[in-house]
Amino acid sequence: MKKTPHATLADVAREARVGTSTVSRVIRGGARVSPDTLERVRAVIRKLDYQPNDAARILKGERTKTIGLIVPSVADPFFAICAEAAQETSRSHGFLLIVTCSNNDPRVELENLNKLVQRRVDGLLLAPAASRNEELVQILNRASIPVVSFDRPIHDSLIPSVVSTNFKGAKEATRHLISHGYKRIVCLGMKGEDSLYTNKERIRGYRTAMQEANLPPKVDVSINNYESAELALKAYLYGVNPPDAIFAIRNLLTIYIFEALHKLRVRIPKKVALVGFDDFQLASTVNPSITVVKQEMELMGKMAAELLFEQLTLKHQSSSKMTNGADSSGVRWLETELIVRESCGCRSNSSFNSPRK
């Protein structure tokens, strides 16, 4: 008995009195092996509880059958849902998924990326902290590892991406508020996140709509957490020229703001209207129900993963550009949808107001 916790292929070969090549063939399906031998080797494999060591296979040049995922946070419902979809797609292809979190910090992101490269993942799914990152693109190119970015594109690269129509969605949401007659619409974001592609696009959409209507845009991206949301709202609502509507550009923030308004006993939409970006559980059930711009979260994760596997499959074939459904910069756009509920000032409409699935 060896000390090793795992039996090796050589152990099996010895026990079955065959060569290692034969055992290898058996493991890989049993082609070109006589029924007798096949049977015997399989029995030994079972007896020894033999599990091939992936490291050796990988070293021989096989694929690692591993995908790397880099997201800001898996605790964020948005990325949790994307991650689940990516893991499911990976599993269906027989791949494993390594999940890392960047916290939107480019340095952490790069660290994670390097680790994944050392691990020789076959492909990478990435929601990049910054849409411009030469170093990242360079590493990706040098490692020549297939990548798909999602939620946010990577500029100046040929990296395909799956991205929601953030600009359009935000513009539409803002226009909707404007159509209600609100004039002092403030756009709220979270601290340190205003440089994220998605938030920039949403802010740009907001600004565009405001400018079109000749209204003064006001953007505040100083909110940190629930407490600071409450503080900011107090300052706004009890200050001079208080806003009559709020556009919250991200899932958690909408909830914080709703909670804070609720606690401050501020009437929505009478005193201030509210529209959020990202739909969420209970958005249709709270009082008032919350109007939001909805993204296709699950589809985003799934599509990104499937795009990656397309590349993986095509990798050794013709390097066709694979632009199906993508625009000239390689972006697949996922349509957002304005879900009109009550917080924007629309009347309650039970048919619009039923809970989601």
In angstroms, the CA 54 to CA 247 distance is 50
Binding of DNA by 242 (CB under 7 A): no
Query: Could you give the 3-state DSSP secondary structure of residue 71?
Result: strand
| Binding residues among 49-68 for DNA as defined by CB under 7 A | 50-53, 55-57, 59-62
Q: Nearest to residue 341, comparing CAs of 259, 254, 266?
A: 254
Binding of its own copies by 100 (CB under 8 A): yes
Q: Nearest to residue 71, comparing CAs of 161, 143, 151?
A: 151
For residue 58, give the amino acid letter: I
Do the Cβ atoms of 167 and 202 come closer than 8 Å? yes
What minimum distance in Å lies between the beta carbon of 126 and its own copies? 15
Q: State how far the alpha carbon of 8 is from the alpha carbons of 13, 18, 22, 26, in Å.
A: 9, 14, 14, 14
Binding of its own copies by 117 (CB under 8 A): yes
In angstroms, the CA 160 to CA 312 distance is 13
For residue 328, give the amino acid letter: S
Query: Could you give the 3-state DSSP secondary structure of residue 286?
Result: coil
Partner interacting with residue 194 (select from its own copies, DNA, none; CB below 5-8 Å by kind): none
Partner interacting with residue 3 (select from its own copies, DNA, none; CB below 5-8 Å by kind): none
Question: CA angle at residue 64 from 28 to 77, to 5 degrees?
Answer: 125
Nearer to DNA by C-beta: 56 or 264? 56
In angstroms, the CA 310 to CA 329 distance is 18
Nearer to DNA by C-beta: 14 or 91? 14
In angstroms, the CA 236 to CA 329 distance is 41
**By CB under 7 A, which span of 21-29, 155-163, 204-212, 319-327 interacts with DNA?**
21-29
**By CB under 7 A, which span of 2-10, 64-72, 79-87, 323-331 interacts with DNA?**
2-10
Contact pick of 35, 75, 319, 328 for its own copies (by CB under 8 A)? 75
| Binding residues among 10-69 for its own copies as defined by CB under 8 A | 49, 51-56, 58-59, 64, 66
What minimum distance in Å lies between the beta carbon of 313 and DNA? 17
Do the Cβ atoms of 203 and 170 come closer than 8 Å? yes
Binding of its own copies by 158 (CB under 8 A): no
Size of the site for its own copies (CB under 8 A): 61
What minimum distance in Å lies between the beta carbon of 150 and its own copies? 16
Dihedral of alpha carbons 286, 170, 268, 240, sign: positive
**By CB under 8 A, which span of 99-107, 216-224, 304-312, 326-334 interacts with its own copies?**
99-107
Joined together, the tokens standing for residue 135 give 């170093």
Query: Could you give the 3-state DSSP secondary structure of residue 188?
Result: strand
Partner interacting with residue 17 (select from DNA, its own copies, none; CB below 5-8 Å by kind): DNA
Binding of its own copies by 234 (CB under 8 A): no
Q: How big, in percent rounded to 5, are the helix, strand and coil portions of the chain?
A: 40, 15, 45
Binding of its own copies by 258 (CB under 8 A): yes
Could you tell me how many residues make up the chain? 357
Binding pattern to its own copies, positions 128-147, x when CB under 8 A?
Answer: --------------xxx---
Beta strands 245-248 and 218-223, pairing class: unpaired
Contact pick of 260, 268, 334, 339 for its own copies (by CB under 8 A)? 260
Binding of DNA by 19 (CB under 7 A): yes
Q: State how far the alpha carbon of 7 is from the alpha carbons of 28, 33, 99, in Å.
A: 17, 22, 29
Contacts with its own copies by CB under 8 A lie at: 5-6, 49, 51-56, 58-59, 64, 66, 73-75, 77, 80-81, 83-84, 87-88, 91, 96-101, 114-120, 142-144, 225-226, 255-256, 258-260, 262-263, 280-282, 284-287, 350, 354-357
Contacts with DNA by CB under 7 A lie at: 4, 6, 8-10, 17-25, 27-28, 32-34, 36-38, 50-53, 55-57, 59-62
